[in-house]
Amino acid sequence: MQPIKLIQISDCHLPESPNTPYRGELVWQQLKDIIERVREWSPDAVVVSGDISEQAGAASYQFFRQTLESLRLPVYCQTGHHRACTNTKFQLVHLELEFTLLFS
């Protein structure tokens, strides 16, 4: 059996705007930089855990989806607590993300 290479990304806390800092950092740019490193590592899949969005807004989830889809890899998500559970589920379904929620 061949080993599987997984990359985990956790707690992105993406704000609604790319120019809005989270804890002093421009996390939209940080996520782009991380994705470039992930490409270099050539994983079999990506596991995302924790808070994807800080405010659970559509813009941050749209950016997240587009950024992760650019990898053309399976992506598995388990969302964090920075949202109302039903709101995040709505956002994920509304944007037709092709991620598998491991837990809800």
pLDDT tens per residue across span 5-23: 889 999 999 999 999 999 9
With a CB cutoff of 8 Å and minimum separation 6, the contacts of 43 are 5, 6, 7, 73
What's the predicted TM-score (pTM) here?
Answer: 0.73
pLDDT of residue 86: 37
CATH of 6-101 among 3.30.420.130, 3.60.21.40, 3.20.20.140, 3.40.50.300: 3.60.21.40
The secondary structure of residue 79, as a DSSP letter, is E
Q: Where are the domains of the chain?
A: 6-101
Residues belonging to the chain: 104
Please write the tens of the pLDDT for every residue from 49-91: 888 989 888 899 889 999 999 999 988 887 776 554 334 433 3
Tokens 């800092």 -> residue: 21
